[in-house]
């Protein structure tokens, strides 16, 4: 009887430890407010029509954005900072599982991105 209770206790402790580890590990891969890890990396690029950005997942190029998203035309961003700010919003959307991570004119306006 004591052996059986010992086995149940050991299995319970292992299950509890596994649950704690799983919950902690999952939280480390969530990017909320800049905390945790992101699978996506942002880099700005200088293009023919202005600034743009790349978003990579590990080493794979996921998004190549050479023009301002959400507006007609082929104009790039006027500055590297504007491209980086927009790329960070796209990265945030990807971290939240939003795909495709579209950008609206209202979002560009809220970040004070010049697109006209």
Q: What is the pLDDT of residue 18?
A: 58
Tens digit of each residue's pLDDT (9 = 90 or more) over 59-91: 999 999 999 999 999 999 999 999 999 999 999
- How far is 79 from 56, CA to CA, in rounded Å? 21
Same domain as 52, residue 11: no
Same domain as 70, residue 51: yes
Q: What is the pLDDT of residue 27?
A: 45
Tokens (6 digits) for 41: 């990396």
**113, 59, 61, 47: CA torsion to nearest 10:** 60
- How far is 3 from 91, CA to CA, in rounded Å? 53
Same domain as 98, residue 44: yes
Same domain as 80, residue 52: yes
**Total tally of structural domains belonging to the chain:** 2
Domain assignment present for residue 58? The answer is yes
Same domain as 44, residue 9: no
Same domain as 14, residue 45: no
Residue range(s) defining the domain that contains residue 5: 1-30
């Amino acid at each position: 009887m004591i052996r059986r209770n010992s086995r149940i206790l050991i299995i319970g402790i292992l299950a509890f430890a596994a649950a704690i580890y799983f919950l902690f590990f999952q939280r480390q891969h969530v990017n909320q407010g800049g905390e945790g890890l992101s699978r996506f990396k942002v880099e700005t690029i200088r293009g023919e029509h202005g600034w743009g950005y790349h978003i990579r997942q590990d080493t794979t190029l996921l998004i190549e954005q050479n023009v301002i998203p959400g507006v007609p035309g082929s104009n790039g961003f006027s500055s590297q900072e504007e491209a980086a700010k927009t790329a960070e919003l796209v990265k945030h959307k990807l971290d939240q599982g939003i795909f495709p991570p579209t950008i609206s004119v209202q979002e560009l306006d809220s970040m004070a991105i010049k697109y006209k």
